[in-house]
Chains A and B, each alone.
Chain A
């Protein structure tokens, strides 16, 4: 029997040496003359165990990790592929029984880490394309209705109902419409888009094709940031395969619907994650924010009606069209329906991707699932939602993971990335960084963002130097108010979240240093 050995091709695994492990495995296989097949899968998202090698045995898959090239020979000595038990020190047993994975509800990430990302047969064998098959047999309005009823909201951060956006585009009568996938995942602590593009690209292609069929759009673009070369390569390869197999093209799955797509690569501008900047960038312009209205759904790319959705929103559509709106809607709480791929990152023991229904508390995620800090020191703060998200102190760790609950605590879940900080973090420094980042990345169109962020850095520097602390903190607060309500987009508008949350929840860090030392 041919033994199948899975070694991830995910960037996170590659960053931890997966390529060397793969070479060592290939070497042992040929050296020992074994009948084995190596599959480069996506990541399961358990990054503290990456590179995690999995072997298909008669009793199912077993995992080993974190592997180094030097651990590979022992893998073969320990009776690879013969039994589901092993004496290898890195033996993890059935990967699905690892608590971090066992506790998840994987809908969007159902195949990620399991299949060969570039095998369409694998994709079909694991339930792929069923959603699109259903969609091409339905009236566009019914597809839109099903997506609306699922309660799916934009996973990019804004949380706008996906079905309503689609309905607006469907209602337009233009001759040309577009589906644009926002894969400009620039927020620190987020990597869900990257993982799905590298680990299960067909699910995104399927989601975009469904969006095309549902709204009458025939052309799709995936705008991927240039910092993700592996995701770009995998998506390009997958699109080629999908086109060849008739999933894309003039007759999607043999239906009268035409839909094709291509990848476009960004050029290192964070603000292009904002949807209207992204559209300008796709058109070949400076990535400057557009004023809304007109909404992109009415006048988007090249002035045509455009669905612009995040990767995870689109990748969640196939399962909704396969299993039905109710199946998806039954997960979650309040107005936050379905599952959310939470990305646990930064200074955390068990970092990775945790897809679960909305409703877990922040504390459960960080302490129970994440296992606390990697350094072993106490958790001081968690920034939720990327560089524009608020810093939460432990006192607010009972906040449930839900769009409205986070908004009620002056925060946001954004793209669901969580950066954990231990007690060595200096929150004044973090607040200053938020302003500095805004200054570096501002598109320059509106004054509150362009000038406000620069003044914010200067004023926080004065606070750090102990110059008129109270007066300058009041000035920062006032400035944040102006940025929040006066900026055109979320870059300037949300930078106040990390700044004000740092000031409000960690006032001790904003005392001038001599006083701080005196107090200790």
Chain B
């Protein structure tokens, strides 16, 4: 189980990230990226800290966090698998590949496995459209997905 950090700890770690980045023009997205990098998600306790430091309302911070697909409000699994669902991958049988992956992992998109091994997310294009269908496992790109490559991915996740 991932331990969720306590509120005060979130606040102090958030403050130190803000201190590093608040000199930037338009610092909110860079701060949120760093917070997600630090905690694996954007804890709700971090939001009022950011709002106060940047002199904006809680609603504004909440609005931004919830607008972007990348920011999570709860921790992801140990691995994050993003599978491309866009047209170029569809043209190469991407829908069938996505169905196989869901079946092998026993979860649907936007879900995390019960053993916390993996979170499955859709992505709309990884720019690997001449080697479709494609996916990204923990930031590593994978092209021309087929049954063998799905096996390798599942093995990596279960390891």
Contact = CB atoms under 8 A, between A and B. Distances in A.
B117 interface: no
A285 B67 CA distance: 9
A14 B143 CA distance: 8
Report which residue of A190, A268, A374 has the largest number of chain B beta carbons within 10 angstroms of its beta carbon: A268
B130 A12 contact: yes
A142 to B, nearest CB: 30
A146 interface: no
B123 interface: yes
A269 B68 contact: yes
Given A191-B130, A343-B130, A346-B88, A286 B33 contact: no
A453 to B, nearest CB: 14
B141 interface: yes
Contacts of A346: 87-88, 91-92, 129, 132
Contact of B29 (A193, A194, A267, A302): A267
Contact of B91 (A16, A266, A282, A347): A347
Contacts of B69: 267-269
Contacts, number: 152
B139 A227 contact: no
Interface string B39-65: 000000000000000100000100110
B29 to A, nearest CB: 6
A283 B25 CA distance: 7
Contacts of B130: 12, 47-48, 191, 343-345, 348, 351-353
Interface residues of A, number: 63
Interface stretch (A210-218, A414-422, A487-495): A414-422
Interface in B95-119: none
Contacts of A433: 87, 90
Given A343-B129, A346-B132, A351-B131, A265 B33 contact: yes
B128 A283 contact: no
Interface string A431-452: 0010001001101000000000
Contacts of B28: 284-285
A64 to B, nearest CB: 18
Interface in A243-275: 264-270
Contacts of A425: 91
A229 interface: yes
B87 A302 contact: no
B127 A185 contact: yes
A12 B127 CA distance: 8
A266 B68 CA distance: 9
Interface string A42-60: 0000011010000000000
B131 A421 contact: no
B10 interface: no
B88 A14 contact: no
Interface of A: 11-12, 14-16, 47-48, 50, 185-191, 193-194, 226-230, 264-270, 281-288, 302, 343-348, 351-353, 374, 383, 386-387, 417, 419-422, 425, 430, 433, 437, 440-441, 443
Interface of B: 25-30, 32-33, 54, 60, 63-64, 67-71, 82, 86-92, 123-132, 134, 136, 139-144
Given A191-B130, A387-B87, 9 more contacts: A229-B139, A267-B70, A268-B68, A285-B28, A288-B67, A345-B88, A346-B87, A353-B130, A430-B90
6 contacts: A12-B131, A16-B144, A47-B130, A191-B129, A230-B141, A266-B29
